[in-house]
A and B are shown apart, each in its own frame.
Chain A
Amino acid sequence: MAEITLDTVSKSFGAVKVIDDISLTVAAGEFVVFLGPSGSGKSTLLRMIAGLETIDSGRLEIGGRESQNLAPGQRNVAMVFQNYALYPHMSVRENMAFGLRNIRMAPDEITRRVEEAARILEMDALLDRRPAQLSGGQRQRVAIGRAIVKEPAAFLFDEPLSNLDAALRVRTRVELAELHQRMQSTMIYVTHDQTEAMTMADRIVVLNDCRIEQIGTPMEVYTAPATRFVAGFIGSPAMNFLPVQIEGSAAVLADGARVPLTVAPEGAAELGIRPEAVQVVGPDEAVVTGEARVVEHLGDRTLIYAVLPGGAEIIAQDGGRSTVAPGDAVPLRFDTSQLHLFDAAGRALPAA
């Protein structure tokens, strides 16, 4: 268990900057998720911590030890790869023991650790099988087991669930969260899947375009996104964005409808509001009335894809037994406690 600190680290591939001056501290025992779209630099950042990519400038500390110039094997971190990278010619036992044999650990200790890891992951019966004889989920466990036996300062996961089918992914997600609670180790987990990030993370680091957009707990990132990018990336269906003019204490939509605000600077802005804060109401309570185009019944709730008079598209949420049909006029009200405003540069403005 160790703290990991990145201090103004940067990296370029040739002329292309892939990590731009990132500083970040992962506390000991914390489960941190790097979340971002592909090309955001999240995997590169993880690989820089692992030592598989060099750090051009800046400082990396793992457990208080300066590590940016250490070989990957000497950083005392273990990595679980997306494709597991289990050696196909070795049994599960040999796969887990390989890293320990490389550092000439005593055979008794190797056996003890392998059996301990097998017990934790409930795969004692699989120890003498080859990877080819295992299912996807079992391979995933072996890959994690191979990390556990090293008793590392930190675990690094590079999209470890992306090769599993949906049902198994949900189950493994819960198992990983349990594993973290049991082992209390520092874990860094890279994913592009916001559900994985929201469900497992102590803190989420949202990356976009080689930079950190926001660091925060899942609820902070969800309820108080620091940028328009974070607001749009997290949440499904995505947040609605409407161009508005701020006049006095109201945001004015394209068709003239006014949404009351408490504080906000005057001028053009973008209003963000999540579908669950756009409610279908009676005609007299409505702020604005749209026309329903598509109605999705999800059982517990209904999503209504509507078009506002100004031409803007909006997703609203109604109860599971909603009677709205495509073509209907839908009176909508905005929950003003859940409004977000963004300036032209995409930064969040104080709103509501």
Chain B
Amino acid sequence: MTVSNSTSENLLEVRNLKKYFPIKGGLMRRTVAQVKALDGVSFSIKKGETLGLVGESGCGKTTTGRTVLRLIPPSGGEVLFEGQDVLKASSSRMRTLRRDMQIVFQDPYASLNPRIPVGQSIAEGLTIHNIGTPKERLDQVAQVLDRVGLNSGHMRRFPHEFSGGQRQRIGIARALVMQPKLIVCDEPVSALDVSIQAQVLNLLNDLQKDLGLTYLFIAHNLSVVEHISNRVGVMYLGRMVELASRDQLFRKPMHPYTKALMSAIPLPDPTIKRDRIILEGDVPSPVNPPSGCRFHPRCWLAQDICKHDDPIFEEKEPGHFVACHFAQG
């Protein structure tokens, strides 16, 4: 495998990724408008690290995860996995790539086929790729179940016999059994109760330490992202607005949206009284995103320039990228 210099450290590189969903209308079902779910997003993930993606609904974080795995076709851009373009891979190449790139879903209830015993669900990837004999597959499933804190006796059970947290463990086991290099975690804990959420987060952390996994961790909960990530990207309306190491981002956020997001989170400590930044209005529609900086209609720092000029996503401090005309620490 030829690996160019720039990507030697990066397991995944995403460049200028775009996804437009057409809105069809009229008699001829022509495309009348486009939802710009992703509009030029770039980031990279190093081997063994966790990149967190945060943002509110409609910011494109989930679309990013699915497009990277080619579960939905992109409208433009490049996704390089170990230096190879995933988006241009042939279907046979894609099959092998899929073994290295797995996904864990948000809803542990919807992500398991209710009519298939969980052992078979977990083994599905092995079956599809013809890995091992049926007996070996069984052993692997048993191992991986054990690894996620369940046991092989659970193999013949159906999903409805498990609690939410257990199902999420099964979802993780299904990804894990393929021995992937990258796992996209799409809101893996947001459907779970707090005490169960902590169990799953710890499990994900342990697995990363033991197996050297790389995560793209997508979530709307900043506290969870802060807990699990090495670096964090903040998205707003299909764009990345800030990307930095966890400490840089949470100690010294530079984009006003990041600041607002952080101050909006209610803290479980009644003694802290903060000056809260309350944003006006709602997130605008991604069909007609605002001109210039997409955040300007809700931004308290906005000037004329923000309405006209789209700020460049640039490195304001080493390793700290921000897209804002008035970014400041």
A, B bound: no
Question: Which residues in A have some Cβ–Cβ distance to B below 8 Å?
Answer: none
Question: Which residues in B have some Cβ–Cβ distance to A below 8 Å?
Answer: none
